[in-house]
Amino acid sequence: NGMFSLFQRIKLKWLQYRYRFVPWIALNLNQRSARTVDQGHSDKLIADHVVLHSILGLFSGFHQFYQPEQKICLETAYKALASRDPAKIARQNSQATGALLGFTVERGPSTLPQGGTGVFVTSGCVPKGSVVAFYPGTVYYPHEAIFFQSIGNSFIFRCIDGVLIDGNDRGLSKMIFNSCSQRDRQGPFNVCDSSWLTACLQNPLAIGQYVNNQSKELPANVAYQEFSVPMDFPFHLRQFLPNVFYSPHSAEDLTQRALRLVVLVSVRDIRVGEELFSTYFTVVR
């Protein structure tokens, strides 16, 4: 019947849909110049091992301010968790980022009219091919229900294989991230970072969801790169990963499902004061 074929047509359109953000955002933006990527070519600007090396270096830098909690007794770990000062951690980790990477990024009013909040290089210089930011959020498989979270939500990022990441730091999306993060916590040890939902960021690079789309005058200086967290990623550094699975995992999943990360990588050197722009419309050929 008519209803069924309409549904089939919508489904087909959705399966063919190749842009980075979900369609209702595409409708909002006037300039939709796309970046094209060849199929099979996984859209990588830098090699996976370079991303991993960069993340490990950064997170180890954050971690030097803590005790290696997994080696201390549970009681001490719970006490440490209860007495954490989020504002102090945010300050220290921001300094650590500057010292380790040679630059810092922060949010601020976009240089674009009606651009809302954007992301800027606030100190140092970003060399081409660096991990500049993370796209935080809840990770949904293509078959999982995201309808209510997606209403009026301009922060849903679409991976090449249809996995969605909800990077909205408000409302229902925020509640869902927090509850998934609590669900996955291993006693006193967090296995992801939910501080991007607050004013005190533990991982100061977890603001990639605020990067605006490029325009003719201001072409993209960063691009999204998808990354799978290896199974042997150090447990004590997982507390800085700003992503969590929406669905709970079974025991065997823990060893089979690699957490999806999306990082933003600089496509050229970026100087202090510049705003970051990406391409919302990456098309996979």
**Tokens 């990360």, located at residue:** 261
Smallest separation (angstroms) from ligand SAM to the CB of 239: 25
Residue 221 contacts ligand SAM per CB under 6 A: no
Any contact of residue 33 with ligand SAM (CB under 6 A)?
no
Residues 150-169 touching ligand SAM, rule: CB under 6 A, are 154-155
The piece of 110-118, 221-229, 230-238, 247-255 that touches ligand SAM (CB under 6 A) is 110-118
| Contact between 210 and ligand SAM per CB under 6 A | yes
Neighbours of 270 (CB within 10 A): 24
Give helix 48-63 / helix 86-101 axis angle, nearest 10°. Answer: 130
Q: How far apart are CA 122 and CA 25, in angstroms?
A: 28
Place of tokens 């509850």: 179
If one asks whether residue 140 binds ligand SAM (CB under 6 A), the answer comes out as: no
By CB under 6 A, is residue 28 in contact with ligand SAM? yes
Residue 206 binds ligand SAM, judged by CB under 6 A: no
Residue nearest to ligand SAM (CB): 116
Q: Contact 98/204 with Cβ under 8 angstroms?
A: no
Burial 170-189 (b: 16+ CB within 10 A, else e): eeebbebbeebbeebeeebb
Give me the residues that bind ligand SAM (CB under 6 A), please. Answer: 25, 28-29, 110, 112, 114-118, 154-155, 209-210, 212-213, 215
